[in-house]
Amino acid sequence: MRLLLFVAVVVCCSLLQPHCLAQTEAVYMAQCASCHGTDGTPTDAGKNLGAADLKSAFVQDLTNEELFNSIARADNHTAYAHAFIRRGMTSQQIYELVKYLRQMARENKRSVPGKRK
pLDDT digits (tens, 9 = 90+) for 3-47: 544 444 444 444 445 557 788 999 999 999 999 999 999 999 999
pLDDT one-digit tens code per residue, 82-96: 788 888 899 999 999
Burial class (CB in 10 A: 0-12, 13-18, 19+), 86: exposed
**pTM higher than 0.75 for the full model?**
no
Over residues 54-76, the mean pLDDT reads 90
> All domains of the chain, ordered by start, with CATH?
17-110 (1.10.760)
- pLDDT surpassing 90 at residue 50: no
